[in-house]
């Protein structure tokens, strides 16, 4: 069976979304629907992703008659950059408008030689984690492959001279494994040397614990896994992360033990710390016991306080002492520095502020809120 696009991804004119096809799908479509061979299809595919062409006319070294066939059957989608906010610490938040009017965000986090892009996978999220503002939105819809891979592609074209994205983390709006098919198609394009050409070592997919999908991800793509834990007992995790009612903490930890990790790779466990709640010495002991038999990188994330939640951030010294518990026992444990707080780009803050601003005539307010909006550059 030839690979096929898994969804009908057509615009109002009935044309197919050219960037929602990975290379095998694109090559098959070109051959079966357009009668075009692999070499021409490759030139078109590469021009879409590496040159950022906006129309098929712009594809170099392909006969016009062939390009006309592509143009009659397909369209080239772009995310519309509504706003780019720059934090004092260099973090940049990109707000994109989608074809149907929804908005999503990507966050760029430069840190020395490492430039990480935090990418969204859904509009809103169905997982309803109680501490997360994106969860308040509910799930509006899954992103198409072109909308997922389009984020690193378009941000890459907006960067400063000499800067390039080195890492992709699927930790923006949404639960990536809830949109697994589209995620995999998009990441195949990110990994493809005819397209965005990222190394699989530089791509991390984060999940709250959709256990059956974790194995499926491992079978389909050799990317890194991150698991968002945030509690050390079944009871507390069920309260703050409702997915635990479906897939228990014990089941999740077992799935991590069974996860086929290549040698030298670790699973990143994210642990958002809430003061006086999940940051006690008993929590540290339970967390260590839970993870000690898994190749682990434990990432502690002090909660980002915001007016919408009464949850408090632990003191810095407390966080450092908590980390010490794991380090003393030989576990790789880091504290994530909070970035982009002044532009609400921190973990769990995506989407909500914008959704509220939208209700009130959002763009002007959003710019005023940040006091630092800059007009999006053309040609993203």
Active site residues: 105, 347
Task: Out of 46, 106, 134, 304, name the contact with ligand SF4 by CB under 6 A.
Answer: 134
- 297-356 residues near ligand SF4, rule: CB under 6 A: 348
Contact 333, 298 (CB under 8 A): yes
DSSP state of 374: B
Q: What is the dihedral of CA 56, 58, 63, 65, to 10 degrees?
A: 40
Contact 177, 217 (CB under 8 A): yes
Q: Is 176 in the site for ligand SF4 (CB under 6 A)?
A: no
Q: At what angle do helices 38-46 and 64-73 cross, to 10 degrees?
A: 70
- If the CB atoms of residues 46 and 151 are measured against ligand SF4, the closer one turns out to be 151
| Cα 121-124-126 angle, rounded to 5 deg | 95
- If the CB atoms of residues 135 and 340 are measured against ligand SF4, the closer one turns out to be 135
Token digits for 186? 């998009």
- If the CB atoms of residues 67 and 169 are measured against ligand SF4, the closer one turns out to be 169
Task: Out of 18, 30, 107, 127, name the contact with ligand SF4 by CB under 6 A.
Answer: 127
Q: Is 132 in the site for ligand SF4 (CB under 6 A)?
A: yes
The sign of the dihedral angle between the CA atoms of 338, 342, 343, 349 is positive
Q: Is 135 in the site for ligand SF4 (CB under 6 A)?
A: yes
Q: Is 119 in the site for ligand SF4 (CB under 6 A)?
A: no
Residue 129 C-beta: closest distance to ligand SF4, Å = 3
d(CA 65, CA 368): 49
- If the CB atoms of residues 128 and 159 are measured against ligand SF4, the closer one turns out to be 128
Q: Is 27 in the site for ligand SF4 (CB under 6 A)?
A: no
Reduce the secondary structure of 187-241 to three states and give it as a string.
Answer: HHHHHCCCCCCCCHHHEEEEECCCHHHHHHHHHHCCCEEEEECCCCCHHHHHHHC
CA nearest to 221, candidates 192, 258, 195: 192
d(CA 150, CA 79): 7
Stretch of 10-18, 132-140, 154-162, 303-311 lying at the interface with ligand SF4 (CB under 6 A): 132-140
Pairing mode, strands 92-97 and 122-124: unpaired
Over the window 206 to 245, marking each residue x when it contacts ligand SF4 by CB under 6 A and - when it does not, the resulting string is --x-------------------------------------
Q: Is 175 in the site for ligand SF4 (CB under 6 A)?
A: yes
- If the CB atoms of residues 86 and 178 are measured against ligand SF4, the closer one turns out to be 178
d(CA 366, CA 357): 6
Residue 128 C-beta: closest distance to ligand SF4, Å = 6
CA nearest to 56, candidates 182, 45, 82, 267: 45
Q: Is 249 in the site for ligand SF4 (CB under 6 A)?
A: no
Position closest to ligand SF4 via CB: 135
Contact 96, 103 (CB under 8 A): yes
Residue 154 C-beta: closest distance to ligand SF4, Å = 21
Stretch of 43-51, 103-111, 123-131, 365-373 lying at the interface with ligand SF4 (CB under 6 A): 123-131
Task: Out of 84, 107, 125, 225, name the contact with ligand SF4 by CB under 6 A.
Answer: 125
Name the site residues for ligand SF4 (rule: CB under 6 A).
Answer: 125, 127-129, 132, 134-135, 173-175, 208, 348
């Amino acid at each position: 069976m030839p690979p096929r696009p898994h969804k009908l991804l057509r615009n109002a004119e009935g044309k197919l979304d050219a960037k929602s096809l990975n290379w095998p799908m694109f090559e098959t479509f070109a051959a079966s629907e357009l009668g075009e061979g692999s070499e021409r299809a490759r030139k078109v595919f590469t021009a879409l992703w590496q040159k950022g062409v906006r129309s098929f006319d712009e594809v170099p070294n392909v006969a016009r008659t062939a390009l006309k066939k592509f143009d009659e059957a397909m369209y080239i989608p772009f995310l519309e950059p509504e706003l780019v906010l720059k934090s004092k610490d260099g973090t940049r938040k990109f707000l994109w408008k989608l074809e149907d009017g929804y908005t999503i965000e990507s966050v760029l986090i430069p840190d020395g030689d490492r430039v990480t892009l935090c990418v969204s996978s859904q509009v809103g999220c169905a997982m309803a984690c109680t501490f997360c503002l994106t969860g308040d939105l509910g799930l509006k819809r899954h992103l198409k492959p072109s909308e997922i891979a389009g984020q690193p592609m378009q941000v890459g074209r907006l960067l400063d001279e000499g800067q390039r994205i080195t890492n992709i983390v699927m930790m923006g709006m949404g639960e990536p494994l809830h949109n697994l098919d589209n995620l995999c198609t998009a990441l195949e394009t990110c990994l493809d040397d005819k397209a965005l050409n990222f190394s699989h070592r530089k791509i991390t997919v984060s999940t709250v614990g959709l256990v059956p999908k974790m194995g499926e991800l491992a079978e389909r793509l050799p990317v890194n896994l991150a698991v968002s834990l945030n509690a050390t007992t079944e009871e507390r995790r069920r309260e703050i992360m409702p997915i635990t009612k479906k897939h228990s903490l014990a089941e999740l930890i077992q799935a991590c033990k069974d996860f086929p990790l290549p040698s030298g790779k670790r699973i990143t466990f994210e642990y958002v710390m809430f003061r006086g709640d999940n940051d006690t010495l008993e929590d540290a002991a339970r967390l260590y016991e839970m993870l000690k038999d898994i190749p682990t990188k434990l990432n502690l994330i002090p909660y980002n306080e915001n007016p919408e939640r009464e949850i408090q951030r632990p003191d810095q010294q407390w966080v450092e002492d908590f980390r010490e518990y794991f380090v003393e026992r030989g576990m790789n444990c880091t504290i994530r520095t909070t970035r982009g707080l002044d532009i609400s780009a921190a973990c769990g803050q995506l989407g909500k502020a914008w959704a509220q601003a939208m209700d009130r005539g959002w763009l002007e307010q959003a710019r005023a809120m940040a006091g630092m909006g800059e007009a999006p550059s053309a040609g993203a």
